[in-house]
Structure 1
Amino acid sequence: MAAGCILAVTAALPATADEVVIATTGGLMRNSLEANMYKPFTEATGIEVVPVDIEVPDQWAKAEAMARSGKMEYDVVTATGGDLIEKKDILHEIDCAALPNVVKNGLPGSCEPYGVVRTIGAQMIAYDTEVFPEGPKNWADFWNVEKFPGGRGLPDTGDRDWWLPAIALMADGVKPADLWPLDLDRAYKKLDEIRPHVAVWWKTGNQMQQIMRNKEVVMIIGYSGRALATVREGQPWAMVWEDTIRDAGIMSIMKDAPNLEAALKYIDFFYANSDGHPEFMRAVNYATSSRGGLEKLPPEEQVLYPTAPENFAKMVVPDFEWIGKNRAELRDRWTKWIAQ
């Protein structure tokens, strides 16, 4: 979309300040956003993006301190679905209907009261096709070490305290519609079954990819973006989309953001700027939640992402209300189990 067209479609939003401060992780994510979103946004609106490179836990620690002091410096921050529940007291409540391009181009669930989806990934199965030309189809197969023998890789990072119990329940026959509230006793009984077959508990995305390259495991539970990056390297791995756990990176706005209108305008622009999405998605290996962005990719490439219609329909949407209310118990149960 040409800059003039984007400016026209964002003109419905009020005039803004001349900058917007956006906190996100640095490196690849920051560079990809800068090339495909920040620069086009500035060209279209005249509003400068001030990026802050910061890891998410540090971001929240600083944002909470700013909120307590009444001196908020961030406008847009990076959030997860759980953060929209746990941090909502310091977040700006968004009127989704006032973001016309999010309404027009966003997939279902793109806009929530306290955040708008930036990227969509999944917790999924990937497997070594040299070991299993006909690989696992679902979570029950991942647990089936007789049919699919060999070491597994599981995450000990991120939201594993609810990812893995939810996955274990589906492996035990629970339908996605019946997952919540999680039956933790049943889940951990099922996790006990797979534990002896876990060759690696991986802790970073880089480690996840490395154990795939090194053939330290024959199948893995992990980030869809990291699995896709490994496949694109030419490694002999395949991805399984059945009952994947939806994992979204979200743009939230801080309550008392110094440049509120500019922040809203940026988020709406993100969905207006369909031309920026293909290269952004290719760079980070995650999808955006924009129909227009996905449609810019050729069909054979669309199917590599969780937002392809056939993949999106198979995703399990977490119940973050329940997760938020039970987070202490989830963390305590995981910590005790993994330490055994």
Structure 2
Amino acid sequence: MRRVLSVSFFLIFLFLTACSDNATTNQSGTSSKELVVVDYGGAMSEAQQKSKYEPFEKENDVKVTIVSPTDVGKLKAMVEGGNVEWDAVVADSDIALRLEREGLLEDLDYDIIDQSGFMSELVTTSSIGNELYFTNIAYNTDVFDEDNHPKTWKEFWDTEKFPGARSLHKSPMGTLEIALLADGVSPDELYPLDLERAFKSLDKIKSEVTIWWDAGAQPPQSLATKEVVLAAAWNGRISAAQSGGAHIANEFNEALAMADSWIIPKGAPNKELAQKFIAFVSLPEQQAEYSKLIDYAPPNEKALDLLPEELKENIGRSSKDAENQITVNIEYWAENFEEVNEKFNNWLLSN
């Protein structure tokens, strides 16, 4: 009899232990599930927590645990090793597509995730857009004013009319598109990228590019100190510094629209709850609340209807701004990034 009781108590112990692995106890003593969400951290994560994570927790009795920053190498290792700890992850949209093609992601359940209103480029079998941001012309407002500053990439390349040091992103994605636009390529003829022409265009301005930035905080800082007077920059970083008193501004004409997306790693421990979470954060209401907290745009067009015109202007989504913006082709970059990046780095090292 003792042996039977011992086995029973052992089985109960295992059951309770298993439950505790996927739940936390709230103050009332009841248990709630835990969802592990991975994003890039910083101000973006703080805005998401207030506009998306906390409301989801309250509505679903769920504890959202945030891990940052996103580490694609770690995600791959988890999936390939069969030991996945993450449930929902934010990744650059082209990387999300690459992971999907490598079979490392769960399919999204579009029976519960409403994709209507989303930009079609940001809806794939295993990913859906999270936020939209722009690589655009940024300038020092002590050097250039609202009427007299480069409004196109061709003008950004015009060092005689608009003299001064420049800064460009140390990445081929976006930078090569900019170079081709500056050389007269029309937006609808950008892809596939003419690499030879892009590098020749970059040759023309290389001597004026004194900073090749690899962190989004660099352009606003170098612009504010006048280390450079013009930069290709992420709009949210510029507007945040501008709100803090920096004499810098964004120009959204010919801005390059880029995005990151939600994905679920293959074998996620709470994949059904992750589907429900992604459905929630994709709602127009939650996306609109996010854009009220940080100057990045919603990929769900329905969310724009919930935002005031002044805010649409701040995030580069007014009807005037949207007319001449270019969406970066994530299909192209998912397929070609590694090869093109090697050529870009070789060009950087050349004289």
TM-score range, shorter chain: 0.7 to 0.9
Q: 1:214 aligns with which of 225, 229, 234?
A: 225
Distance 2:251 2:94 in 1: 25
Q: 1:201 aligns with which of 212, 216, 237?
A: 212
**Residue 72 in 1 paired to residue 84 in 2?**
yes
Q: 1:227 aligns with which of 223, 229, 238?
A: 238
**Residue 46 in 1 paired to residue 61 in 2?**
yes
Q: Per the alignment, in what secondary structure is the counterpart of residue 112 of structure 1? A: coil
Could you give the per-residue CA deviations for residues 29-66 of structure 1, whole angstroms, max 9, x where no partner exists?
3322222211111111222212212x23xx21221111
Residues 106 and 286 of structure 1, relative CA distance in 2, 3 Å threshold: same
2:255 alignment partner AA: T
1:240 alignment partner AA: E
Residues 291 and 229 of structure 1, relative CA distance in 2, 3 Å threshold: same
2:131 alignment partner AA: T
Q: Per the alignment, in what secondary structure is the counterpart of residue 188 of structure 2? A: helix
Who is 1:295 aligned against?
305
Who is 1:169 aligned against?
180
1:171 alignment partner AA: A
Who is 1:31 aligned against?
46
Q: 1:141 aligns with which of 145, 152, 155?
A: 155
Who is 1:151 aligned against?
165
Deviation at 1:262, TM superposition (A): 1.0
**Residue 247 in 1 paired to residue 258 in 2?**
yes
Distance 1:93 1:205 in 2: 31
Unaligned runs of 5+ in 1: 1-16
Give me the identity figure in percent: 30
Distance 2:41 2:141 in 1: 33
Residues 78 and 272 of structure 1, relative CA distance in 2, 3 Å threshold: closer
In terms of mean alpha carbon deviation, does 288-297 or 241-250 score higher?
A: 288-297
Residues 74 and 44 of structure 1, relative CA distance in 2, 3 Å threshold: same
Please report the RMSD computed on the Cα atoms of aligned residues, expressed in angstroms: 2.1
Q: Per the alignment, in what secondary structure is the counterpart of residue 202 of structure 2? A: helix
Deviation at 1:309, TM superposition (A): 3.5
Deviation at 1:98, TM superposition (A): 3.6
Q: Per the alignment, in what secondary structure is the counterpart of residue 149 of structure 2? A: coil
**Residue 128 in 1 paired to residue 143 in 2?**
no
Who is 2:18 aligned against?
none
Q: 1:321 aligns with which of 308, 321, 331?
A: 331
The answer on whether the counterparts of 1:289 and 1:307 sit within 8 Å (CA) in structure 2 is: no
Unaligned runs of 5+ in 2: 1-31
Residues 256 and 330 of structure 1, relative CA distance in 2, 3 Å threshold: same
**Residue 96 in 1 paired to residue 107 in 2?**
no
Who is 1:14 aligned against?
none
Residues 335 and 77 of structure 1, relative CA distance in 2, 3 Å threshold: same
Deviation at 1:276, TM superposition (A): 6.8
Mapping 1:261-340, distance limit 5 Å: 261-272=272-283, 274=285, 277-278=288-289, 280-340=290-350
The answer on whether the counterparts of 2:166 and 2:231 sit within 8 Å (CA) in structure 1 is: yes
Distance 1:263 1:334 in 2: 37
- Count of matched residue positions in the alignment of Structure 1 and Structure 2: 315
Deviation at 1:91, TM superposition (A): 1.1
TM-score (structure 2 length as normaliser): 0.83
Distance 1:85 1:42 in 2: 28
1:155 alignment partner AA: H
Distance 1:286 1:23 in 2: 18
Distance 2:328 2:172 in 1: 13
Distance 2:330 2:131 in 1: 17
Q: Per the alignment, in what secondary structure is the counterpart of residue 299 of structure 2? A: coil
Distance 1:276 1:190 in 2: 38
2:74 alignment partner AA: K
Residues 276 and 197 of structure 1, relative CA distance in 2, 3 Å threshold: closer
Could you give the per-residue CA deviations for residues 146-182 of structure 1, whole angstroms, max 9, x where no partner exists?
11111111122xxx21321111011000011101111
Q: Per the alignment, in what secondary structure is the counterpart of residue 260 of structure 2? A: strand
Could you give the per-residue CA deviations for residues 241-269 of structure 1, whole angstroms, max 9, x where no partner exists?
22221111211111222211211111111
1:90 alignment partner AA: L
Distance 1:46 1:325 in 2: 40
Who is 1:180 aligned against?
191
Distance 1:26 1:33 in 2: 10
